[in-house]
Amino acid sequence: MLPKKVLVTEVGTRDGLQSEPRFVPTADKIALVDALTRAGIRRIEVSSFVSPRAVPQMADAAQVMAGIERPPGLVAACLVPNANGARRAAEAKVDEMVAFVSATESHNRANVNRTIDESLAGFAEVAAIARDHAVRVHGAIAVAFGCPFEGDVPFAQVVAIVGRLHALGVRELTLGDTTGMATPPIATGLCKAIQDAHPDMHVTLHFHNTRGVGLANVMAGLQAGIDSYESSLGGLGGCPFAPGATGNVCTEDLVYLLHEMGIETGVDLAKLVAAAKRVEALVGHPVPGQVMKAGPRLRRYPMDAVRKAVG
């Protein structure tokens, strides 16, 4: 029994742009978010309230939040690493704060220079600030499907962290495949372990296509009943603090797959592809999206537009 409807969250404007060497102007970021909204995306990870020194691409988070359109139904989320980021996000009137922790000590050290316990203590501070401002909190666990420093991550280790987030009141959670180490059996097993331990936790899956199995992992997630996925326009992205973390699952490729399976998303694929084509110009290099290049399955071509075999 596959979900009849899936929520697609766009993370390209945060996860996609954060590791780009070329700074994308604020006005262009705003225009991109608005294009995604008009395409029907209803949850967007707009930016990140991190240190501008650590991630210069996100230095204009407040300006981007102030400039975007906010139609009814849109959830404008932003990543917050600590209490200071949470206060800045609250001032910017975000709809949702995304607070994160890694599934392994090694990656957590590399990512935020903290232990897991320290990060969870900081998460509690973020949650308190969010509650004071009536802002939703969404948890995220990086390297949930495998760590580039420690290898396989035991399901019980992830479930234990989920339990600690649950105790803090978190009921919305993203499992991040930060370096593309997930496989369909791992995705299926981890989803089941969390569903068994915390059936009231709504899980979102965030896969990377680093090793070419991103959409295969989505299929495994759908078969496990997961109805929420994060992806990046054009397939941009990758954690700047994890070796080999290239390529999120591409949003338009994900939407194409879901539509071909008869699963509703509320997203206009043609408008999404148009937005993806703008991304290449903004970042100044080709992006890995496939549907933006090939078009939908039933696209038709005039006979005189192709070369013909002769002789």
Judge whether 78 counts as a catalytic residue: no
Q: What is the DSSP string of 175-205?
A: EE-TTS---HHHHHHHHHHHHHH-TTPEEEE
Burial pattern 220-247, b for ≥16 Cβ within 10 A else e, equals: bbbebebbbbbbbbbbbbbbebbeebbb
CB atoms within 10 A of CB 92: 18
CA atoms within 13 A on the CB side of 117: 0
Q: How far apart are CA 144 and CA 187, in angstroms?
A: 9
Per the CB < 8 A criterion, the answer to whether 135 and 94 are in contact is yes
**Active-site choice (78, 191, 239, 250):** 239
Query: What positions carry a catalytic annotation?
Result: 239
